[in-house]
Structure 1
Amino acid sequence: MKTGQKVTAFIVGLAAVFAISVWIGNAVSPQEAAMTAAAQELPGGLQSTQDGYTLALDNSIATAKPEVPLKFRIMSPTGAPVKRYVETHEKLLHLIVVRNDLADFQHVHPTLDAEGTWSATLNLARAGDYRVFADFMPTGGPALTLGANLHVAGPYDPQPLPPASQTAEVDDHMVTLRGTPRANEESMLTLSVSLDGKPVDDLQPYLGAYGHLVAVRASDLAYLHVHPMGEPGDGTTASGPEIGFHTTFPSAGAYRLFLDFQHRDVVRTAAFTVNVSDAVQTSAPAPSGGGGHQH
């Protein structure tokens, strides 16, 4: 082939590639591209290391008993323990511990010493494998949720995931869930608290809110920490009976929801199973948020 013919063929080939690229670009809508991007972003808690920060448990094996000390550190990108944190929701770090079958849930707030070691006491009377989530923001760093495995020795009786329900009872309080969660789009969930059949309108602030909601995906323990709309004392947010949450579930499937709320000076936790279905996509989905944090 002569040089001129080679150049002509090369130009024609480039034009064909360009045309195909344009066609593919038009074929993939902005909504589909946004959904793909959201799907590719990992929820919180699936990694022990993210953005250079690492959750390091001093000991990942324990024996089942009601009071088990747990110590851990958050290692910085330089390899040194993080010693300075930004307070979020009135605490420097929130520690969430769930058994892998989601039959046990704890939300505790460890203490930090001068060397960067966190200490907490957990109720691990029930043996099994647990996932430990550290929800925090280091000074000068991003908001993160890191996860690590904790193995608790002893007789283990794993439980099936409870069926989906719109009601949960805890300490004579009935909590009712309303809303239809869908994957990859913002969902509005409303939880209403009643006691002895009467609406509770005197919920007390707990960690700067009338309620805190944690969602854990049953299949792999992906973590979402969702905070309610409004806050105590803002002039518009009522102290019950309803607590509203905006959240975006990263995929379809079964999730376990844990609602912490305070009433009559006692913090209680109501638990629900919800089945999240795929969204009927008509607009770009809201991003799921980095590190499992949603507001």
Structure 2
Amino acid sequence: MNRFLNIIALATTLVLAQSCSFLPNEKKAISVSTHQHEERSTIESHHREHSTSGTIHGEKKALTQARLKLPSNITQNKNISILIEVQDLNRKAIPNFDTFQEKLMHLIVVSDDLKFFSHLHPTYKDNGQFEVKTSFPQAGGYTFFSDYKPVGKTEQVSVLKMQVPGNSIAAPEINLDRTKIFNDTKVNLALSESTVKAGQEVTLIFKLQEASNNQSLTDLQPYLGEKGHLVILRKSTSLTAEDYIHAHALKNTPAGQVHFMTSFPQSGKYKVWGQFNRNGKIITADFLINVV
């Protein structure tokens, strides 16, 4: 029986100055390496470079490439060790990274149906290698958005993919509610524009209240150095770097509110995840937005 989990690395197009080119050695391929005496499947990523302030989307020249190493046997709801290797375009390990938003790497993991979301912070193991342990609650495809900053360089996003074997579950129901309750916190999402248009700047306003009495929260604390964090992904058959937006919280907003300013690059349905720190407990509030 073939013990290896076959993961296909999709060839990636890097857009630069309105022209298309491929990163060195990109190809549809499966390669296998050994890590800690364990058989692992390896896939390569596509990448983009972005600035470290404001909304993060749009593509520039890639400075790095990343490889994802996984155990050959992956099952649902079982913790596994994930290794991410960051290299320059000549496949030489990048040894040093700058801390940004209090971490060396932010790893966003989402299922293809956007039902599952996880924001992880892998541990740096030296020689360009980051490691984290996590589990996956359902079968199907997952996309990793690895966000890091080599010393003296701009922030980089590497996109990697993996597959969890098994029977896929039915797609989740579409919920367009703008007010939801997450444990003991009520979150309302308001938009500065009644109709969100592609390319138009819009402010997303998260109003957080105590679910039991609708009082504005007074116990919000900084999360990773900011009032909150916002990740946005466009629903797509195959997520890419162009579908990923990371927006920073605005300063000096009313108590119990966290605001983000961003724009959506193209029309479609987007899912947003706002993350906030309530007395040391992280609240993740998800909503759907339609962009015309």
2:67 is aligned to 56
2:248 is aligned to 227
Name the CA distance, whole Å, in 2 between partners of 1:86 and 1:182.
Answer: 35
Cα offsets for 1:144-170 (capped at 9, x unmatched):
211111111123204236232212221
Q: Is the 8 A contact 1:163 1:273 kept in 2?
A: yes
Cα offsets for 1:197-242 (capped at 9, x unmatched):
1111220111001210000000243110111002xxxxx455x311
Cα distance 1:82–1:158, how it changes in 2: closer, same or farther (>3 A)? Answer: farther
2:95 is aligned to 83
Cα distance 1:135–1:270, how it changes in 2: closer, same or farther (>3 A)? Answer: same
Shift of 1:41: 10
Secondary structure of the 1:182 match is: coil
Cα distance 1:158–1:80, how it changes in 2: closer, same or farther (>3 A)? Answer: farther
Shift of 1:77: 2.2
Query: 1:267 aligned to 2:282?
Result: yes
- 1:246-285 aligned at under 5 Å gives the runs 246-277=261-292
Name the CA distance, whole Å, in 1 between partners of 2:124 and 2:197.
Answer: 38
Cα offsets for 1:107-129 (capped at 9, x unmatched):
01000112221101112132210
2:209 is aligned to 194
Q: Is the 8 A contact 2:71 2:80 kept in 1?
A: no
Name the CA distance, whole Å, in 1 between partners of 2:244 and 2:78.
Answer: 25
Secondary structure of the 1:112 match is: strand
> How many residue pairs are counted as aligned between the two chains?
231
Q: Is the 8 A contact 1:182 1:249 kept in 2?
A: yes
2:130 is aligned to 118
Shift of 1:60: 8.0
Q: Is the 8 A contact 2:70 2:81 kept in 1?
A: no
Q: Mean alpha-carbon deviation: is it higher for 77-86 or for 262-271?
A: 77-86
| TM-score, normalised by the number of residues in structure 1 | 0.72
Cα distance 1:41–1:125, how it changes in 2: closer, same or farther (>3 A)? Answer: farther
Secondary structure of the 1:107 match is: strand
Secondary structure of the 2:221 match is: coil
Q: Mean alpha-carbon deviation: is it higher for 195-204 or for 53-62?
A: 53-62
Unaligned runs of 5+ in 1: 1-36, 231-235, 278-295
Cα distance 1:99–1:107, how it changes in 2: closer, same or farther (>3 A)? Answer: same
Residue 261 of structure 1 aligns with an amino acid whose one-letter code is F
Higher-RCO chain (CA-CA 8 Å, sequence separation at least 6)? 1
- 1:1-295 aligned at under 5 Å gives the runs 48-50=46-48, 51-59=62-70, 62-160=74-172, 162-179=174-191, 180=193, 181-195=196-210, 196=212, 197-219=214-236, 220-221=238-239, 222-230=243-251, 236-237=252-253, 240-277=255-292
Secondary structure of the 1:149 match is: strand
| TM-score, normalised by the number of residues in structure 2 | 0.73
Cα distance 1:90–1:79, how it changes in 2: closer, same or farther (>3 A)? Answer: same
The structure with more radius of gyration: 1
Q: Is the 8 A contact 2:47 2:157 kept in 1?
A: no
Structure with greater proportional strand content: 2
Cα distance 1:146–1:198, how it changes in 2: closer, same or farther (>3 A)? Answer: same
Structure with greater proportional helix content: 1
Shift of 1:52: 3.8
- Provide the identity percentage: 29
Cα offsets for 1:236-258 (capped at 9, x unmatched):
455x3110111011111100000
The runs of 4+ residues in structure 1 deviating greater than 6 Å are 39-42
Name the CA distance, whole Å, in 2 between partners of 1:139 and 1:192.
Answer: 36
Q: Is the 8 A contact 1:101 1:158 kept in 2?
A: no
Q: Is the 8 A contact 2:47 2:156 kept in 1?
A: no
Name the CA distance, whole Å, in 1 between partners of 2:103 and 2:267.
Answer: 31
Name the CA distance, whole Å, in 1 between partners of 2:118 and 2:177.
Answer: 21
